[in-house]
A and B are shown apart, each in its own frame.
Chain A
């Protein structure tokens, strides 16, 4: 039921919502999270961000995350789209949509999906700064804590 894609091209949020709701009269709400490239990292200006992933594992990990959400909430569909390659400040990185009959399940599932995606799907981001330096983004404990709250 979940739509899962990894792609270099941008996504169209309205088009993805339309796909999700097509022939699904029971849907009463869609939770949405769009992750975008920040122009600054700790006050350093970013020129671009490059996303690398582990192709065979990524789709499998994303499908497992979606299946967990579908088992936990009464979802009527969900969409996970993650971009790869080189992106510029302001560009979209990730789209999470979760549709349900009522808002609470849609919103909670959306939060769960992005929190788990950030800590369990094998993607890595490298920032290129405006001064030409580059650095891999390090995982942070806030993300781990955000993901852990769904285990309670």
Chain B
């Protein structure tokens, strides 16, 4: 990773199902700039990282998010150290 932010700014990102397949990994630690303070801003920042992310977030209405294992909305605040997961609408049961 080429980010210059200190390690304390790190987010633990998880991807499931077809988001994992499109991004090419199920888990990564990234340090976005400090102005990335919401889920929506994080998605904007991820999409700029490359085509895998663009494909994963091409239709944001089909992407769900959890922050620290609780369902989250685009405007949900995020903070360094958070575990942020992106996944499709759930299909268990």
Contact surface of A with B, Cβ cutoff 8 Å: 35, 51-54, 56-57, 60-61, 82, 93-94, 114, 117-126, 136-139, 143
Contact = CB atoms under 8 A, between A and B. Distances in A.
27 contacts: A35-B93, A51-B92, A52-B17, A53-B16, A53-B92, A54-B87, A56-B69, A60-B69, A82-B92, A94-B92, A118-B90, A120-B71, A121-B90, A121-B93, A122-B16, A122-B87, A122-B90, A123-B91, A124-B90, A124-B91, A125-B92, A136-B18, A137-B91, A138-B89, A139-B88, A139-B89, A139-B91
B14 interface: yes
A124 B63 CA distance: 13
Contact of A119 (B14, B69, B90): B90
A139 B93 CA distance: 11
Interface of B: 14, 16-18, 66, 69, 71, 83, 85, 87-93
Chain A interface, DSSP helix/strand/loop, else mixed: mixed
